[in-house]
Structure 1
Amino acid sequence: MASPSLELQGVIVARLKAWAGLSASVNGRVYDSVPKEDLRIAQTGAGWPYISVGEGDETSDDADCIDGFEISLDIDVWSRAVGFPEAKRISDEIRKALKSPDLTLPTNALVDFRHRQTRFLRDPDGLTSHAVMTFEGFAEQP
Structure 2
Amino acid sequence: MTDPLLELQGAVVARLKADAGVVAFVGGRVFDDVPLGADRPYIAIGPSEAAEDSAECIGAYEFALQIDCWSEAPGFVEVRRLGAAVRKAMIGDFALTENALVSLDHRITRVFRDRGGTMSQAAITFSGVIESAD
TM-score in terms of structure 2 length = 0.96
Where do residues 61-140 of structure 1 align in structure 2 (5 Å cutoff)?
Answer: 61-100=53-92, 102-140=93-131
Q: Is the CA contact 1:103–1:110 (under 8 Å) kept in the aligned structure 2?
A: yes
Q: Is the CA contact 1:99–1:115 (under 8 Å) kept in the aligned structure 2?
A: no
Question: Structure 1: which amino acid aligns with 2:60?
Answer: G
Residues 15-48 of structure 1: per-residue CA shift (max 9 Å, x gap): 0001000112100100000002xxxxxxxx2101
Match of 1:49 in 2: 41
**Residue aligned with 1:81, SS:** coil
**Residue aligned with 1:73, SS:** strand
* Higher RCO (CA < 8 A, seq sep 6+): 2
Once the two structures are aligned, what percentage of the paired residues are identical? 50
Size of the aligned set, in residue pairs, is: 133
Shift of 1:106: 1.3
> What CA distance in whole angstroms lies between the structure 1 residues aligned with 2:117 and 2:57?
51
Q: Is the CA contact 1:7–1:105 (under 8 Å) kept in the aligned structure 2?
A: yes
State the superposition RMSD in angstroms: 0.8
Q: Which has the larger radius of gyration?
A: 1
> What CA distance in whole angstroms lies between the structure 2 residues aligned with 1:117 and 1:14?
22
Q: Is the CA contact 2:11–2:94 (under 8 Å) kept in the aligned structure 1?
A: yes
In structure 1, the gaps of 5 or more residues are: 37-44
Shift of 1:52: 0.1
> What CA distance in whole angstroms lies between the structure 2 residues aligned with 1:81 and 1:115?
25
In structure 2, the gaps of 5 or more residues are: none
TM-score in terms of structure 1 length = 0.91
